[in-house]
Amino acid sequence: MGIYGVLSANFSPNGQTIVSTSHDNTLKLWNLNGQCLHTFTGHSIGVLSANFSPDGQTIISASHDNTLKLWNLNGQCLHTFTGHSNLVQSANFSPDGQTIIST
């Protein structure tokens, strides 16, 4: 049995929800009472970070599986970005929400 730790957590722009990432290959969307609203599945290895778009309507995640994924708030993967040759440590949106940066 593996040990699964939470790797990151970030507030939505309106401060009403939180996205967390974990070694268990998932992202989770939480309300401020600690209730899990949705579990996002699709990465094949641990998810290192996730951030909301400036409008709060999408989430970008970065993973050990060398990909970024763009999600809607219902957990649907809208797009998988490939091109990194190693793990993706972090990803974030530009202030206007039109560009994504990853490391």
99: left (phi over 0), alpha (psi -120 to 50) or beta: beta
Burial status of residue 62 (CB atoms within 10 A of its CB: 0-12, 13-18, 19 or more):
buried
Taking the chain, what is the end-to-end CA distance rounded to the nearest angstrom? 30
Burial status of residue 49 (CB atoms within 10 A of its CB: 0-12, 13-18, 19 or more):
buried
Specify the pLDDT at position 1.
44
pTM here is: 0.93
Specify the pLDDT at position 42.
96
Specify the pLDDT at position 3.
61
Per-residue pLDDT of the chain (103 residues; tens, 9 = 90+): 456 689 999 999 999 999 999 999 999 999 999 999 999 999 999 999 999 999 999 999 999 999 999 999 999 999 999 999 999 999 999 999 999 999 9
